[in-house]
Amino acid sequence: MTSLAERTTTAEDPEAAATTVVSAGSTEPYDPAPPSGAVARATGRERLRAPLEWLAERPLEACWPRDRR
């Protein structure tokens, strides 16, 4: 069985995956690394979308063309 922390840090929830837990007693400032790859490209434009959201915006024919035999 997976713990709550493991379940909330999957690709399904990129915001939770980017969250770092810092203890309340910590005196060190939190300094996150800058995003890289697809996350950096999506920043400012749109959030990363799940494949089903992407498919829902397009007609089925555009995603899977019919066999034209």
**45 belongs to a structural domain:** yes
Cα 34–Cα 35–Cα 36 angle in degrees, nearest 5: 120
**54 belongs to a structural domain:** yes
**60 belongs to a structural domain:** yes
Give me the residue label for tokens 């939190």.
30
Counting every residue, how long is the chain?
69
Q: How many domains does the chain contain in total?
A: 1
Owning domain of residue 50: 36-64
pLDDT of residue 57: 72
pLDDT of residue 56: 72
pLDDT of residue 15: 62
**44 belongs to a structural domain:** yes
What predicted TM-score, i.e. pTM, was given to this entire model?
Answer: 0.18
**42 belongs to a structural domain:** yes
CA distance 22 to 24: 6
pLDDT tens-digit profile, the chain (69 residues): 555 555 544 555 666 555 555 556 666 666 666 666 666 566 555 555 566 676 677 776 666 666 666
Give me the residue label for tokens 């979308």.
49
